[in-house]
Structure 1
Amino acid sequence: MRPFKFSIAGDPETAITTVSANANAKFLGGGTNLLDLMKEDVTHPSALINITRLKHTAIEKTDNGILIGGMATNSFTANHEKIRKNYPLLSMAILAGASAQIRNMATNGGNLNQRTRCTYFYDVSMPCNKREPGSGCGALKGMNRNHAIFGWSEKCVAVYPSDMAVALSALDAVVHVQGGSTGKRTIPFADFHRLPGNNPEIDNNLKHGELITSIELPENDLADHSYYLKIRERSSYAFALVSVAAAMSLDGTKIKDVRIALGGVAHKPWRAAAAEQLLKGRDATIANFKAAATAELSKAKPLEHNKYKVKLAGDAIVRALTYALNGAGYGIEAGLHSEV
């Protein structure tokens, strides 16, 4: 690990001003991803500004939903009564991620800023456009079993690792940020993370020095029929091969509203728009779930070693929708289901 300056910010303005003034400075929250990256010499900031004393930790009811603090920990958020009752999909997704120790440290804002777990990104001896723009993508023609089947480019085929973000995508969350020259602004979750395109080194649309202060969850009527399904190679402390956040509201047997987002398949949480469009207004049946999955996966572009993800993702969509229909995740405990 390379030397760096360390300071503690007592208020957001100080933190933002300090980071904005130094292109190589970074905010330090729980540090569960950043410190790993520094130890592996993937990133080497010249200054870290500790923001754990900032007061953006509350989870509050608003007129139109709930606001969760950017500095609230993942564990606090997942187990909060308002989240468990009104947004069980988010609780399930958070509790499916990492380990209890990491969730106790990791912050909500930091979760959204975590970087890919692509082995070529972490191995500094290998080419990686995300780590070193212009060096090439080692995974494109290399071992790409865990990589993207949607939205990738010749520059990068990595996937985004967060479970929490997949649920936030399905819930149409809005990210509240505060910056120096930019002031306060909001970013719809669909626009927060980026596909790789020609600039895979840019993970999201935050500007340097902008701080995530909170995440807004709009009201919905999806709580009774929500489910987060995570398929991984071992039952704990593993990233998703494929995950599905599924939620719906019903009018009798008809699907009034439906949300489906996929993890482990793209450079950002992948909203299954084709599947959602097919299902709205139709009966909630296995046959329709299968048709929706087929419609969505018809757009997939697998790589040499990850063709299995096409069928896996399709089957996962059907299973997650079935569990959601049956209310398997309502009350949370029944929804902590992982396929291995």
Structure 2
Amino acid sequence: MHPFSYARPSDVMEAVGELTTEKSLDSAGAKFIAGGTNLIDLMKENVERPGRLVDINHLPLNTIEEIEDGGLRLDALVSNADTAYHPLVEQRYPLLSQTILAGASPQLRNMATNGGNLFQRTRCYYFYDTAMPCNKREPGQNAGPSGCGAIGGYNRIHAILGTTEGTEDGQSQCIATYPSDMAVALAALEAVIRVTGPNGERTIPIGEFHRLPGQEPQRDNTLEPGEIVTAIDLPAPRFVDNHMYLKLRDRASYAFALVSVAVGLEMEGDVVKDVRIALGGVAHKPWRKPEAEALLVGKTATKENFRPVADSLLEGAVGYGHNTFKIELAHRAIIRALGQAAKLEPTA
């Protein structure tokens, strides 16, 4: 682990200032740290080498409260465990509670924060192995490409949607996946991320917060330099009665998703009045496609009607050898999750 300096601000603007001070800019980069459940591992592996850590645990961002439109505001420093078990979250957003509890382990959920969860970095083997080429870790050296070891290597856990095989120089090649469970439910619930930076406060819809690799695979999100996430706003409650988070993984606990599906349905009898579907484990960000969801609105909840939705969601999916099985796995998972949300089949 490389040496670093340390700061502990007491308010949000002081924290923003710590990331934009000359001292931070002159170092090897500054990083916010809260629970540290991902960043510390990355530092130990020399994947992340911040020259300065800004400890934000003492900022006043640790409450969950109702907001005017009937929704909830989840402060960034509330732990994942406290969020999942909060009475208002369990009652009004059971999909989110269910999803959080499907992730990590109790020990990690007790440490990990809502804000930090949004910043999880990929678990791509080649990203963690500094001896291997990785456009996300080192997008280009001396004006040349770094490369993507996963595309021609062992890529069983990698992306099938939204990937970029790159331009002629190869700098945009990346098939990494985004690992968060929580963010998949937030995408289905259409949450809004509140951030503060040098230019003040702004909000970012969850669908615009994370990004596809494009020409900058090293960038996981759309935050501007110096910005900090302060809260996550959930809109007025929906999908309380008909929801499902289906996570398919190699073992029953403490494993990242090969494919996950978050579904929320509004039903009138057996007819779907509204639907939200988000996929995890298949792309560089939680994957949604509103035009696919629209195919189910006004239709009876049946497997026959679910199949075109799955087809549309997975349109353009590409396998790279070891991960090609994910395409069929995701198709079956979407149909199964919709059936479970509509209560056509048991969830166990």
Q: Give the TM bin, normalised by the shorter chain.
A: over 0.9
Q: Is the 8 A contact 1:73 1:103 kept in 2?
A: yes
Q: Is the 8 A contact 1:226 1:327 kept in 2?
A: no
In the alignment, does 2:94 pair up with 1:77? no
Q: Could you state the TM-score of these two structures normalised by the residue count of structure 1?
A: 0.94
Residue 191 (structure 1) aligns with: 208
Q: What is the identity, as a one-letter code, of the residue corresponding to 1:56?
A: L
For residues 120 and 78 of structure 1, what CA distance do their matches in structure 2 show?
Answer: 32
For residues 209 and 29 of structure 1, what CA distance do their matches in structure 2 show?
Answer: 16
Q: What is the identity, as a one-letter code, of the residue corresponding to 1:142?
A: G
Decide which of 173, 176, 181 is 1:163's aligned counterpart: 181
Decide which of 233, 241, 250 is 1:233's aligned counterpart: 250
Q: What is the identity, as a one-letter code, of the residue corresponding to 1:88?
A: P
The runs of at least 4 aligned residues of structure 1 exceeding 4 Å deviation read none
Higher relative contact order (CA 8 A, sep 6+): 1
Residue 153 (structure 1) aligns with: 164
For residues 213 and 12 of structure 1, what CA distance do their matches in structure 2 show?
Answer: 8
Decide which of 73, 79, 83 is 1:67's aligned counterpart: 73
Residue 94 (structure 1) aligns with: 100
Deviations 1:207-231 (A, max 9, x none): 1221110001111431100110100
Task: Tell me the secondary structure at the aligned position of residue 115 of structure 2.
Answer: helix
Change (3 A) 1:105 1:280: same
Decide which of 275, 289, 313 is 1:296's aligned counterpart: 313
**Tell me, which stretches of 5 or more residues in structure 2 are unaligned?**
141-145, 166-172
Q: Is the 8 A contact 1:89 1:167 kept in 2?
A: yes
Task: Tell me the secondary structure at the aligned position of residue 295 of structure 2.
Answer: helix
Q: Is the 8 A contact 1:224 1:327 kept in 2?
A: no
Q: What is the identity, as a one-letter code, of the residue corresponding to 1:39?
A: K
For residues 157 and 288 of structure 2, what CA distance do their matches in structure 1 show?
Answer: 19
Deviates more, 1:200-209 or 1:118-127: 200-209
- The alpha carbon displacement at 1:19 in A equals 1.1
For residues 102 and 95 of structure 2, what CA distance do their matches in structure 1 show?
Answer: 11
Decide which of 30, 38, 45 is 2:35's aligned counterpart: 30
In the alignment, does 2:10 pair up with 1:10? yes
Decide which of 44, 54, 57 is 1:39's aligned counterpart: 44
Q: CA RMSD for the aligned pairs?
A: 1.4
Residue 143 (structure 2) aligns with: none
For residues 212 and 62 of structure 1, what CA distance do their matches in structure 2 show?
Answer: 18
- The alpha carbon displacement at 1:327 in A equals 8.8
Q: Is the 8 A contact 2:161 2:314 kept in 1?
A: no
Residue 325 (structure 1) aligns with: 342
Calculate percent identity across the aligned residue pairs: 54
**Tell me, which stretches of 5 or more residues in structure 1 are unaligned?**
329-333
Residue 120 (structure 1) aligns with: 126
- 5 Å matches for 1:192-271? 192-271=209-288
Q: Is the 8 A contact 2:73 2:232 kept in 1?
A: yes
Q: Is the 8 A contact 1:68 1:214 kept in 2?
A: yes
For residues 185 and 159 of structure 2, what CA distance do their matches in structure 1 show?
Answer: 18
- The alpha carbon displacement at 1:138 in A equals 0.7
For residues 292 and 129 of structure 2, what CA distance do their matches in structure 1 show?
Answer: 36
Q: Is the 8 A contact 1:255 1:283 kept in 2?
A: yes
Residue 331 (structure 1) aligns with: none
- The alpha carbon displacement at 1:274 in A equals 4.0
Residue 140 (structure 1) aligns with: 151
- The alpha carbon displacement at 1:297 in A equals 2.1
